[in-house]
Chains A and B, each alone.
Chain A
């Protein structure tokens, strides 16, 4: 069994499990004024300080949310609503949590400019600069692409935006723990991260929101989290998240070196048996654990099923609600042909990955691709009968 889908979710770090488990058996609403409430509040604030410290933010800039999707929605809609301006600039390769939120704003009357990317899926600061004007409410560009792993020049983009006084949000869900992420140094106004991609629990995330950025809440209620995100704080998840963020950031540099070496080994091993495999995304400036590969002539769902049956778990890219594998909007935006886009798989490594995982993949990928190619050809064969007119 080889789990090669860490970009979808990665196992919780044992220390995070322990911290969370301990917190699960305590009682206390962080908004209560009594002893139990203060104890809960203390756990939250310690977690907040830890996360702020790990990510180069101030504690007051750390807003706890229900996860990456909520953080993205809050940043995109909240900053847009609070600005009173009409334009939004977003890259065409964003995660659906940003993409669909922006599309929704467009339906509500926002004037959206979709920033094009190069063939690696990278957005340039120049394209942002060209599109900027005084009516832009928000620019949003992901730090690192969740599918193809390409890293964006977020510092440059943030600088361009800051020069115009335009808020810049970046979805850093895949970046935290994988590459150095320092909120203050990045110059971003808002940054999304989530627990379950860094060895923390599901259902908890953070929006780092610079203190001077106005953001209209999605959720109204008790006024928690600077009045931007109401709702009783989830103490155990927040405690678990803080521990995971701390570990993943502390270990980032050494882990990145390890994973990049392992990832290169994986690509080389696949290429050795499938010489025409295509590596998508930037060859160098990419997430260390990401190998996004196209197997010409194959369908992604065939490959996925054959690998799954052999104990190897990976992803075909974005999955829709019904579980149908659609050609990835990221690859299409990069200019990849739909047929090739359909034949792509994402292998993503994480903190529990080993050389044995790569060896396991290497031992089966040849026959699997061969078989999937036969099936791909079968799929292209037309009907035996002629339709009568």
Chain B
């Protein structure tokens, strides 16, 4: 196959590309320039589109003896990931930009271009298992459950997945690093990237404040309706947040309060006790289904990239994925994705993914 390897400059995508080469594919490496300001050198281990990362990707490609190019996706990335991120926060929702980037950039903008240019697949260093069974892609959790990224891939369509290649799904991160060292890849010991690549200092609130209309509002006690304080804007909060609420003194019962809901129209933030944070019902739209969902299905629901899982029953009702959790989950916010899995000894199978609209 002609394979386009997306190479971030990190150890995972380098080993993934090397494995694709070793499997006999005709591989071309591409580093995506996603930052509107590519001239910045990385500070620390964060970020994924600095000069240093592009250099690391190039050196890995050199070692494998594959052609390597840098493609500019900064404009698409800004429009479809960064602006979406800001718009979602402005609407009081909690987006997942990595998921968005997979959906819109790596497996849409890049994949479309790759296919048009004559490639058969896009290969990435994501930790997930992908297999074609009877012509349909089956996406499963990675062997390394600590690194599993099936959640941020679950919203890809069957068409997208049928042109995807994740060579690391069967290996632990630890062994990937060992393999990178054995292959002589200079990125073998490079630290993992964390946080959001386009917010290199990790200060999401500051990033948002400069990019959206911020509207001051009230902090309201959800139980009594009492006004507990004022704030500079809903972007400063996420559902489930406990610290930094700016409330003088504890609740009358002496228990900590958490953000329960963000109301962007009024600008109000509702806070309350931890019990109120527990969610047992999720309603999610724009579902991507990987199996036929006719009737209720026993599953495991996941609402965050790492952790946040609970046994559940899910059903597709009028194009909306309704998920009843058998054990409540905390910190479930509109805008996040819910992925549902069927438990399986061969790796939990992704059944569907959808965007959370409401919780109960």
A-side residues, CB < 8 A to B, are 301-302, 304-306, 308-309, 320-326, 371-372, 374-375, 377-379, 381, 383-385, 387-389
Contact = CB atoms under 8 A, between A and B. Distances in A.
A227 B172 CA distance: 62
Nearest to B157: A384
B278 to A, nearest CB: 25
B39 interface: yes
A67 to B, nearest CB: 22
Nearest to A385: B286
A308 B116 contact: no
Contacts of B144: none
Interface in B1-59: 28, 31, 33, 38-39, 51, 54, 58
- Give the contact-size bracket for chain B: 35 or more
B260 to A, nearest CB: 21
B28 A388 contact: no
Nearest to A381: B112
A301 B116 contact: no
User: Counting chain A CB atoms within 10 Å of each CB, which of B93, B103, B108 scores highest?
Assistant: B108
18 contacts: A302-B113, A304-B69, A305-B67, A306-B118, A309-B67, A322-B38, A323-B69, A324-B71, A325-B70, A372-B117, A379-B76, A381-B112, A383-B80, A383-B104, A384-B108, A387-B84, A387-B87, A389-B87
A231 B74 CA distance: 42
Given A309-B28, A324-B71, A383-B80, 4 more contacts: A323-B70, A324-B74, A387-B80, A389-B91
A383 B71 CA distance: 19
Contacts, number: 79
Interface of B: 28, 31, 33, 38-39, 51, 54, 58, 67, 69-72, 74, 76, 80, 83-84, 87-88, 91, 93, 103-104, 108-109, 112-113, 115-118, 286, 335, 355
B112 A301 contact: no
User: Counting chain A CB atoms within 10 Å of each CB, which of B69, B87, B91, B103 scores highest?
Assistant: B69
A382 to B, nearest CB: 9
Contact of B51 (A302, A322, A375, A378): A322
Given A378-B112, A385-B286, A301 B39 contact: no
Given A305-B28, A321-B39, A322-B70, A388 B113 contact: no
A305 to B, nearest CB: 6
Nearest to A373: B116
A378 B113 contact: yes
A156 B189 CA distance: 59
A85 B91 CA distance: 55
Contacts of A323: 31, 33, 54, 58, 69-70
Contacts of A383: 80, 104, 108
A371 B113 CA distance: 10
B113 A322 contact: no
A306 B72 contact: no
A372 B31 CA distance: 19
Contacts of B71: 301, 324
Given A301-B71, A371-B117, A322 B112 contact: no
User: Counting chain A CB atoms within 10 Å of each CB, which of B28, B72, B80, B286 scores highest?
Assistant: B72
A375 B67 contact: no
B174 to A, nearest CB: 31
A377 B116 CA distance: 9
Contacts of A324: 33, 38, 70-72, 74
A389 B80 CA distance: 13
Nearest to A302: B117
Contacts of B103: 385
Nearest to A322: B38
B89 to A, nearest CB: 12
Contacts of A379: 76, 109, 112-113
A302 B84 CA distance: 27
Which 8 residue pairs are nearest across A and B when measured between Cβ atoms?
A375-B116, A378-B112, A323-B70, A374-B116, A322-B38, A378-B116, A324-B33, A324-B72
Contacts of B70: 322-325
Given A322-B39, A375-B113, A379-B109, A301 B51 contact: no
User: Counting chain A CB atoms within 10 Å of each CB, which of B80, B87, B112 scores highest?
Assistant: B112
B72 A371 contact: no
A387 B84 CA distance: 7
A371 B38 contact: no
Nearest to A308: B67
A308 B108 CA distance: 24
Nearest to B26: A309
Contacts of B67: 305, 308-309
B117 A306 contact: yes
A388 B88 contact: yes
A381 B111 CA distance: 12
B118 A371 contact: yes
Contact of A305 (B109, B117, B286): B117
Contacts of A388: 87-88, 91, 93, 335, 355
A308 to B, nearest CB: 6
A297 to B, nearest CB: 12
Contacts of A305: 28, 67, 69, 117
A381 B72 CA distance: 16
Contacts of B112: 375, 378-379, 381
Given A305-B67, A309-B67, A322 B54 contact: yes
A379 B113 CA distance: 6
Contacts of B118: 306, 371
